[in-house]
Amino acid sequence: MHTAGTKWTSELSLTSQQWSVIGALARTGYKDGVSVNELSEFLLVSRQNVNGLLLRLEQHGISRRVPDPRDGRAKLVQLTPEGWAIWKQLIARISQFYDIALVNFTTEELVQFQYFIDKLQRNLGTILK
């Protein structure tokens, strides 16, 4: 899925892992920023992996780290204006990607698929704790 997702968004020079991070940063409530810990927990990946992805996004001007207003020593990650512009382009591409990937699934199969993905995520979440 990662390979197909990366190919699907290749014209934007993004990997599927990078668009996952961009999508997470674009979530409601994250506009002002999110800690790397929260981002790591949400994506169910290690801080080390998230930091690597963030460094590449920062190098391309897509995300940035800003001081946390609640704790001046801490940093929050947020999308830059360029990152928001890329997110707007990605939304349509991601929607098309999933429409194509799921086209032959029945409604019942989609419900079951979601159930199993949720179960897998819960199980993986226990590994990261």
- Does residue 115 fall inside a structural domain? no
Domain boundaries, position 88: 2-103
Count structural domains, the chain: 1
- Does residue 124 fall inside a structural domain? no
- Does residue 129 fall inside a structural domain? no
- Does residue 72 fall inside a structural domain? yes
- Does residue 20 fall inside a structural domain? yes
- Does residue 116 fall inside a structural domain? no
pTM: 0.80
pLDDT tens digits for the chain (129 residues)?
778 877 777 777 888 889 899 999 999 888 889 999 999 988 888 899 999 999 999 999 999 999 998 887 899 999 999 999 999 988 888 888 889 999 999 999 999 999 999 999 888 777 765
- Does residue 54 fall inside a structural domain? yes
CB 65 within 8 A of CB 58: yes
56: CATH? 1.10.10.10
> Mapping DSSP to helix (H, G, I), strand (E, B) and coil, where does residue 70 land?
coil
Name which of 26, 49, 24, 52 is nearest 38 in CA terms: 24
